[in-house]
Amino acid sequence: MSKLVPPHGSSKLKPLLAPAEDRDAGLAGATELTPVPMTTREVSDILMFALGAYTPLDGFMGEADWRGSCVDMALANGTFWPIPVTLSASEELARQIEIGQEVALTDGETGRIMAVMTVNETYTPDKSIECESVYKTTDEAHPGVASVLRHGPVYLAGPVTVLDEGDFPEQFSDLYLSPAESRAVFEEKGWSRVAAFQTRNPMHRSHEHLAKIAIEICDGVMVHSLLGNLKPGDIPAEVRQEAISTLVEHYFVENTVVQSGYPLDMRYAGPREALLHALFRQNYGCSHLIVGRDHAGVGDYYGPFDAHHIFDEIPNDALITQPLKIDWTFWCDKCGTMASMRTCPHTADDRVLVSGSKLRKLLSEGGDVPDNFSRPEVLEVLRNYYQGLQEHEKVKVELKGHSAR
């Protein structure tokens, strides 16, 4: 019997990917169906369905589940779920679709058929409820709010069968583990307590410090890199993979780190997104999620440790996967090492706050990176990437919110 945490809300994983032998026929039949184009966020949700990362969902949410996840962080049946997973459409398209009709879900950018869905409900959501509940703001400058408002005014709901995972499995063959596959890796290693480390950056010294704290109290760490859409100026996944592999090779004990990736687009929902990250890491077999400063935040919309506090506000039985709440980490010149507010007695003048945004800014501008920001072997990988960029590919990195401190 497995010693890993069970899947969320279910006794077993629920991957919604059709069996390999059925996909070609399914795709051929889907060409005859009404196409529903998806945004990049919705495509990323389809991929999470395929993997079983969204267990126990069987498709895009109906109105009761949408409202429940927004307002109460729970589905209509009471299962904990902190962020709605929905499919949008224009009013014109929605009028053409009948209840019970099967439709083809396509990548809105390429037209590629990704899945089929039986539409069992259409509804017009009050998006102000979604924005205020999930993002704690209706400010259209917030990227998550802007995304909600850009999506179509009508939501379609129903069970999904995924027929195509796109290019991810081939493009990221070494990283693209499903929850079933990550669980198999952990089982093979004999791990039962596994911490997930969420990142969209190469790992700098602060990240390394967080991961090593987790290794002290768990059997190992899964470095789980975001493979979905990033913000302009972010470092591509393949470069991050090389940088993280280099760090692990030189500075971690062998067999304490598993490197993996997942295809979800960031929603920048701060505390709510931290809960979603813990939820699907439970499906991946992780007993803990490292939650540091400003987890999944953007700008000044959330406090630096709001993502810590929200775990204290949910029912005790909402999640099995628990947060590893780690305070602000930094390099302290007087301590001569990485430290946190809980371990360092010195002043701000002695501390160097390390962030991915600061590191990207220094590298993109060709500036000198202090030794206490990142390991030299990692910096070599990143400098090679930035030196290879053409002028039109360069993006000015601006420090905002907590990263500007």
Return d(Cα 138, Cα 126) in angstroms, integer. 12
Distance CA 157, CA 121 (A): 5
Tell me which of 140, 166, 192 is where a domain ends.
166
Whether 153 and 178 map to the same domain: the answer is: no
For residue 370, pLDDT beyond 90:
no
In sign, the C-alpha dihedral spanning 201, 207, 208, 214 is: negative
Nearest residue to 404 via CA among 326, 270, 297: 297
Residue-wise DSSP of 344-369: --S-GGGEE---HHHHHHHHHTTPPP
Percent of the chain with pLDDT over 70: 95
How many domains does the structure of the chain reveal? 2
Nearest to 122 by CA among 90, 76, 147, 150: 90
In a domain, 15, yes or no: no
67 contact partners, CB below 8 Å, separation of at least 6: 125, 129
Same domain, 288 and 324: yes
Asked if residue 243 lies in contact with residue 382, where contact means CB atoms within 8 angstroms, the answer is: yes
What DSSP element (H or E) covers 114? strand 113-118
What mean pLDDT is predicted for residues 164-181?
A: 93
- 195 and 313 housed in the same domain: yes
Distance CA 270, CA 322 (A): 17
pLDDT of residue 393: 60
Residues 194, 312: one domain?
Answer: yes
Give me the pLDDT at residue 402, please. Answer: 46
Is residue 400 predicted with pLDDT exceeding 60?
no
Over residues 91-106, mean pLDDT = 98
Domain termination site, one of 135, 166, 197: 166
| Residue 250 sits in the same domain as residue 371 | yes
Specify the DSSP class assigned to residue 7.
Answer: P
Q: Do residue 83 and residue 39 come from a single domain?
A: yes
Question: Has residue 191 been placed in a domain?
Answer: yes
Residues 14-21 have a mean pLDDT of: 98
Average pLDDT value for residue range 380-393: 82
Residue 148 within any structural domain of the chain: yes
Q: Are 68 and 80 in contact (CB under 8 A)?
A: no
Asked whether residue 39 falls in the same domain as residue 97, the answer is yes
Reply yes or no on whether the pLDDT at 356 is more than 80. no
Q: Mean pLDDT lowest for which of 44-53, 205-214, 243-252, 366-375?
A: 366-375
User: Quick check: 207 pLDDT over 90?
Assistant: yes
In a domain, 4, yes or no: no
Q: Is a pLDDT exceeding 70 seen at residue 104?
A: yes
Q: Is residue 356 part of a domain?
A: yes
Q: How far is residue 321's CA from residue 13's CA, in Å, rounded to a whole number?
A: 15
Report yes or no on 12 lying in a domain. Answer: no
Neighbours of 127 (CB within 10 A): 17
Residues 186 and 243 grouped into a single domain: yes
pLDDT at 279 over 60: yes
Residues with a catalytic annotation lie at 200-201
Residue 234 in any domain: the answer is yes
CATH number of the domain at 387, please: 3.40.50.620
CATH classification at residue 134: 3.10.400.10
Q: Which residue has the tokens 């299962």?
A: 79
Mean pLDDT (the chain) is 93
- 7 found inside a domain: no
Q: At which of 147, 166, 185 does a domain end?
A: 166
Domain co-membership, 232 together with 295: yes
122 and 144 fall within a common domain: yes
247 plus 328 within the same structural domain: yes
Model confidence, pTM: 0.94
CA distance 325 to 291: 5
Closest CA to 42 of 92, 102, 126, 106: 106
- The single residue listed with the structure tokens 């400098």 is 383
Angle between helices 376-387 and 237-251 (to 10 degrees): 160
Residue 82, domain extent: 20-166
Confidence of residue 9 (pLDDT cuts 50, 70, 90): very high
Closest CA to 194 of 395, 2, 18: 2
Q: What is the pLDDT of residue 238?
A: 86
Considering the domain architecture, whether residues 63 and 193 belong to the same structural domain is answered as: no
Reference 278, options 254, 293, 295; nearest CA is 295
- % helix, strand, coil for the chain, step of 5: 35, 20, 45
Q: How confident is residue 371, by pLDDT bands cut at 50, 70 and 90?
A: confident
Mean pLDDT of 214-237: 86
